[in-house]
Structure 1
Amino acid sequence: MLTSPVKGMLPLLSQTLLLLCLAACGGSDDTTSNPSDTGQTDTSQPGTPQTGGTDPAQGLCDSLEGEINWQALMAEDCPTLSQYRLFQQPDKPTRSPNAPGFNYELSSQLFTNYAHKYRFIFLPEGSQIDYNPSDTFDLPVGAVLVKTFALPSDTQLTGEANETLVETRLLIHRENGWTALPYLWQDGEAHLTIAGANQTHSLTRQGEQLDFTYHVPSRAECKLCHQRASDHGTHIYPIGLKPYLLNHDVLVNKERINQLEHWRTQARLTGLPDSGAPDSAPAITDNNADLTARAKGYLDINCAHCHRAEGFASISGLRLGFYVDHTSFQYGICKQPLGWDGGEKGLSYDIIPGDGEHSILLYRQMLDAPKDRMPPIGRSLSHVEALSVLQTWIDGLPPSLGNCQHSG
């Protein structure tokens, strides 16, 4: 929940902070701005790629040497995704990566309008991922993260036959830091879309047809979620590569195996304890798992990248990391937000133990107006299935955890 100090100035100050952040992000790999990357989204012609940004050296982007175009990945922002040659079938970014690429899966869902996500990692030869016991893993220079979003025709259906490719995002660890590249799919090809784009879509959820606008983020908006501040400036980092989001069984050659253990045996991961990762964040929809772990895992992957001390929403004081004590004030228990007016319900507290209906944490995930919506980008629809679980969790928290004066 993005916040500001004076209740009467809430929406204006929140929007000002957002604009300042986007302006500061620019289009480069670090705090140096790129004047050609404004981060503005084209809404006049939905779905039209806005290439902008750098003017790639065609020699590198069009090189035919080797399976993967490593030189271009490290140096150029190619106009089309296929020029990097990451996949055996350029129009199928959901499977069959070229070596040494491999897929990975998160245990808890990052929600983006019910889009199915296909994630891959490409590591330079001889390099490994460094294990971190409580936060994002360190990846070597040269690493590439690929995430493709495909919208289902029906939220109850899976598989490529029931999906429409929408976008593919790259995070590339170049010599001067991580850089983000968004690609929009059109007519079987993914085009670099520096300024972002809007596309209209329809899907069916529980028998109801939903028509909505899907927003492909601009390069600057990618950095809104991925940025972290430090004494050396603001830089971007991966979000989901955390031990508790990766510590679960996946299917490998028709056999179920722990994902982190598999990475270690494949010499992809170093530093994993012999006993393995201690914790796992189950899916929000896993009814057989611990309810608190389900709720905290979901809030971590969807909210904690901003709601941390180094994140964009640090000013809010709200901390939603998996290892933050969920009975504490900083996790939102009886905490009044610094920058939101309570909406039409006039709500006052981020979390009221025993009362999910009047908790801002839940309510703002139901709203869609730009000044109210949480997360601020990344969704146009509400994740009703997850919100039901989160309300059950908050309703089950003992009121004795805090001294909230009932609001709403």
Structure 2
Amino acid sequence: ATDNGGIVATSAPVSITVNAASGVTYGLTNRPAGTAFLKMPKSFDGALPLLLSQTGAFTDVPTLARANGLITYTVNTPLWSDGTYKTRWFSVPNDGAPFIQGDQIGFATNGEWTFPAGTVFVKHFELATNDLDQTMRRRLETRLLVRGTNGAVYGLTYKWRPDYSDADLLTNSLSEDIVVQTAGGTRTQTWYYPSPQDCLTCHTPAANYVLGVKTRQLNGNYLYPDSGRADNQLRTLNQLGLFYPPITSEFNITNYPRLAAVTNTGATLEDRARSYIDANCAQCHRPGGPQTTFDARYDTPLANQNILNGILAKGDLGYDHARVVVPRDILRSVLYDRMNTADSLVKMPQLARNLIDTNAVVAVADWIRSLPGVPALDPPTIHPPGGTAVGSLTVTLQHSDPSARLYFTVDGSLPGTNSTPYTGPVTLTNSVTLKAVAFDTGFNNSVAATATFAIRPPIQLVSFSFNSSGQFLVELQGLAGKSYIFQASTNLINWVAISTNVAPANLFQFTDASSTRFPYQFYRAIEEP
């Protein structure tokens, strides 16, 4: 007899109890033989193939006909990659049945799997170049991750040629602007191609190097393109003899952990949010990882993840009492703030992301708002929201809650209830940093709204004189780089422009060459917008 692992054995008669399977046909029924490393070197120090066609991953590169041994798979919650479409394969080396432990994945219901040396993971990226027709796609890159003989991995990126005849190895990272058609015209999307060094930034030792291929990501149905049959991926892979130890009862699979897609509205908000955090953060944010502020792994109970009210290690982004996540307060939840920006100095993950995942931002915000706790007020709105003015400027504060009490400061400090209460428009005559906070019964106070104002004096007369020709000279103080119109009048009603100049410095001069023709004149200088 041959078991699910491919082991052939003969024994004396024994009594056994059989747990009947579901009767559903498996997604795949035959495990093909797979060459260790395909045609890749055993380590990054080896001779790296310069072309995708030389890696052994595809028998025909233009059509993406995969090599024998590569098995297609998908994940429940993908890493956000700026909206690209991804296809995934992996190959675990073997010479065919019977399979020995060295031909199999070290299976675990929780945590990470282990893979034998020579396992190769392939991920292919395409970007839709028309927002109205997602079938119009451009091939961007194909990445390979190779499990070496030392237990670690190395990763390579192959950038596709415009004619799709092949893809070339990149030795360094690269950014490329890609034009995408929209309903109103076009937009430009920047795509980041990672370097081999970038690959190891995410594929960390703490995460056992391989990120997506694990129980909680593959515990879901997949329509296998080779057979046209849908099946639970764990069930199919187990039947193929890929797991050691094998899953002895398929009925247990439904009890194994399973991540939920962030767009799966049939799952709870907590499952969707925690699944997304696991897929996008757990490679670094985990015990022993490069970032240990919190434990992003879905396997860790929420109460032990140090996410809720977790103390920050790398900055509060300017928000008072900020934490990893503050229940019912999205702005003080730095995890949310870093998701909701494309600023390279703030965003997370930092690598290979140039767009905001709006679906995830909405789901995580809804989850934070659903958590038990006291809700926080939204911050006030400052009008105008900052800027430069000449002489003075009137500022108003507004809030959506008519019962909210607003307090403000003009020295950059955090307002409290002992600060100046807002009772009406505020006139500023000096440069200030204005901060405003909202308070109300039954709510936590808002984060501070901040606006910076530069108030400078209007143009001023410094001195005047006459030159040796009797022409009138005036020295003025304004702002370097601004344009000024110097005008003259004999009656204070009719004004004539004498000259228009860009001030080379804050102190500048005007000369009226016609002043000798008049017994007297009046002058004024006007700053252009």
TM-score normalised by structure 1 residue count: 0.74
Question: Hey, what's the Cα distance between the residues in 1 that align with 2:447 and 2:39?
Answer: 58
Residue 121 of structure 1 aligns to a residue whose secondary structure is strand
Where does the alignment leave 5 or more consecutive residues of structure 1 unmatched? 1-65, 230-234
Does residue 391 of the first structure (1) align with residue 365 of the second (2)? yes
Does residue 246 of the first structure (1) align with residue 218 of the second (2)? yes
1:150 aligned residue:
126
Residue 60 of structure 2 aligns to a residue whose secondary structure is coil
Among candidates 327, 331, 338, match of residue 313 of structure 2: 338
Question: Hey, what's the Cα distance between the residues in 2 that align with 1:286 and 1:208?
Answer: 31
1:304 aligned residue:
282
Residue 59 of structure 2 aligns to a residue whose secondary structure is coil
Mapping of residues 43-192 of structure 1, within 5 Å: 70-74=38-42, 75-93=46-64, 96-125=65-94, 126=99, 127-154=103-130, 157-159=133-135, 162-176=136-150, 177-187=152-162, 188=164, 189-192=166-169
Specify which structure has the bigger relative contact order, considering alpha-carbon pairs within 8 angstroms and separated by 6 or more residues: 1
Mapping of residues 151-300 of structure 1, within 5 Å: 151-154=127-130, 157-159=133-135, 162-176=136-150, 177-187=152-162, 188=164, 189-203=166-180, 209-228=186-205, 237-252=209-224, 253-273=227-247, 274=249, 275-276=252-253, 278-300=256-278
Note the alpha carbon deviations across 1:101-158, whole angstroms, 9 max, x for none.
1111001121011011111001211411111221221111110001111111246754
| Residue range with higher mean Cα deviation, 184-193 or 111-120 | 184-193
Q: Which has the higher helix share?
A: 1
RMSD: 2.8
Residue 88 of structure 1 aligns to a residue whose secondary structure is strand
Among candidates 372, 375, 386, match of residue 346 of structure 2: 372
Question: Hey, what's the Cα distance between the residues in 2 that align with 1:293 and 1:396?
Answer: 13
Where does the alignment leave 5 or more consecutive residues of structure 2 unmatched? 1-33, 376-443, 449-529
1:3 aligned residue:
none
Mapping of residues 21-40 of structure 1, within 5 Å: none
What is the count of residue pairs matched by the alignment?
A: 330
Residue 211 of structure 1 aligns to a residue whose secondary structure is strand
Q: 1:192 to 1:294 in 2, by over 3 A?
A: same
The answer as to whether partners of 1:292 and 1:393 remain within 8 angstroms in 2 is yes
Residue 197 of structure 1, CA deviation: 0.9
Residue 88 of structure 1, CA deviation: 2.9
Note the alpha carbon deviations across 1:327-378, whole angstroms, 9 max, x for none.
45x43212231212415x6672221111224321111112222221110112
Question: Hey, what's the Cα distance between the residues in 2 that align with 1:154 and 1:311?
Answer: 39
Residue 73 of structure 1, CA deviation: 4.0
One-letter code of the match for 1:102? I
2:475 aligned residue:
none
Residue 246 of structure 1, CA deviation: 0.6
Q: 1:218 to 1:333 in 2, by over 3 A?
A: same
Note the alpha carbon deviations across 1:182-217, whole angstroms, 9 max, x for none.
211123221111211111123468978542321111
Please say which structure displays the higher CA radius of gyration: 2
The answer as to whether partners of 1:325 and 1:331 remain within 8 angstroms in 2 is no
Question: Hey, what's the Cα distance between the residues in 2 that align with 1:263 and 1:308?
Answer: 28
* Amino-acid identity (%): 24
Residue 362 of structure 1 aligns to a residue whose secondary structure is helix
Question: Hey, what's the Cα distance between the residues in 1 that align with 2:238 and 2:230?
Answer: 15
The answer as to whether partners of 2:111 and 2:299 remain within 8 angstroms in 1 is no
TM-score normalised by structure 2 residue count: 0.58
One-letter code of the match for 1:246? L
Q: 1:71 to 1:88 in 2, by over 3 A?
A: closer
One-letter code of the match for 2:160? W
Residue 364 of structure 1 aligns to a residue whose secondary structure is helix
One-letter code of the match for 2:62? D
Question: Hey, what's the Cα distance between the residues in 2 that align with 1:184 and 1:109?
Answer: 21
Q: 1:351 to 1:281 in 2, by over 3 A?
A: same
